[in-house]
Amino acid sequence: MATRLDKPIKRELEIEGHTYTVTLAPDGVKVVEKGKRKGVSVSWQAFVSGDAALAAELRASLDALPAK
């Protein structure tokens, strides 16, 4: 049986030499570079409905456009 997520859980993650703090909370997930205040947040509703994946695909397609 899984444990209910009723309070935030923070963990550190290192990606390409940068350290990030990942917070799993009842309202969603937040990833912030260590030492910074702003990061990326995704609500569980957006994650489950597919809105988060759609936004990531849109961002990737826009990044692939040639620079003006």
Percent of the chain with pLDDT over 70: 97
Q: What is the pLDDT of residues 34-66, one digit of tens each?
A: 999 898 888 888 878 877 777 777 777 777 777
Q: Output the pLDDT for position 62.
A: 73
Q: Output the pLDDT for position 7.
A: 97
The answer as to whether 1 is a domain residue is: no
10 closest CA partner among 24, 29, 26: 24
| Residue-range definition of the domain harbouring residue 41 | 9-61
The answer as to whether 50 is a domain residue is: yes
Q: Output the pLDDT for position 60.
A: 75
The answer as to whether 66 is a domain residue is: no
Report angle CA 42, 48, 51 to the nearest 5 degrees.
60
The answer as to whether 49 is a domain residue is: yes
Q: Is the pLDDT of residue 68 over 70?
A: no
The answer as to whether 13 is a domain residue is: yes
Specify the number of domains making up the chain. 1
